[in-house]
Amino acid sequence: MPPRKTWSADTLVLIWSATKGISSACVLHVLQEHRIGIDRYVAEFWPEFAQGGKEKITLSQLLSHQAGLCALDARVDILDYDAVIRALELQKPLWLPGTAMVSRSHIWILARRTRASDRWENAFAILARSVCTALSLDLWIGLPEEENRRVATVYAAKTGRPPEPKKFTAT
């Protein structure tokens, strides 16, 4: 077990699922900035996405967790960004897009480079440029290595059994 450290004003804490709203806001900011409607198809900006029946999924469906992409058929290491992106490109929606809402793959999809006018940025670069810097927020998605020293140690809840990773694949 790592040594316990006292928290201070600059201690960073994991926020888990709160990144969904933050990253969506960043993407919406760029879409507004470049006058890109949320009714446009994801495949217009990410051609490799248009496989397995995903050709007509809109940015709106993707951002509102209605794309049917909450789990993967392929078994990939959840920490391997490129493998998850490839699996998402090949994945067939688990339901008819627009008819249900569940989120799990959201962060990888938003991390995928989002076309903004004639340049490419990912949602995390947008977060840094448009939100954190402007508001002087000490918030990160994809923490730079030099900031690791500031991260709080988080301990799993004591449940009487070892923690198990949640399943991210459909099988």
Q: Tell me if 55 is assigned to some domain.
A: yes
List the Cα angle 82/88/92 in 5-degree steps. 160
Q: Tell me if 61 is assigned to some domain.
A: yes
Q: Tell me if 34 is assigned to some domain.
A: yes
User: CA 31, CA 19: separation in Å to the nearest integer?
Assistant: 18
Q: Tell me if 93 is assigned to some domain.
A: yes
Q: Is the pLDDT of residue 99 over 80?
A: yes
| Cβ proximity of 103 and 19 under 8 Å | no
User: CA 123, CA 24: separation in Å to the nearest integer?
Assistant: 8
Q: Tell me if 159 is assigned to some domain.
A: no
Residue 136 belongs to domain spanning: 16-150
Q: Which pLDDT band, with edges at 50, 70 and 90, does 129 fall under?
A: low
User: CA 52, CA 156: separation in Å to the nearest integer?
Assistant: 38
pLDDT at 63: 83
- pTM of the predicted protein model: 0.66
Of residues 58, 70, 120, the one with CA closest to residue 100: 70
pLDDT in tens, 132-159: 777 788 887 777 889 889 998 877 777 7
Q: What phi, psi does 169 have (nearest 5°)?
A: -105, 155
pLDDT at 84: 84
Q: For the residues 24-49, what does the mean pLDDT come to?
A: 85
User: CA 60, CA 55: separation in Å to the nearest integer?
Assistant: 14
User: CA 76, CA 81: separation in Å to the nearest integer?
Assistant: 9
Mean pLDDT (the chain) is: 77
Q: Tell me if 108 is assigned to some domain.
A: yes
pLDDT in tens, 18-32: 777 777 777 787 788
How many domains would you assign to the chain?
1
CATH number at residue 43: 3.40.710.10
DSSP label at residue 41: B
Q: Tell me if 168 is assigned to some domain.
A: no
Q: Tell me if 171 is assigned to some domain.
A: no
Q: Is the pLDDT of residue 53 over 90?
A: yes
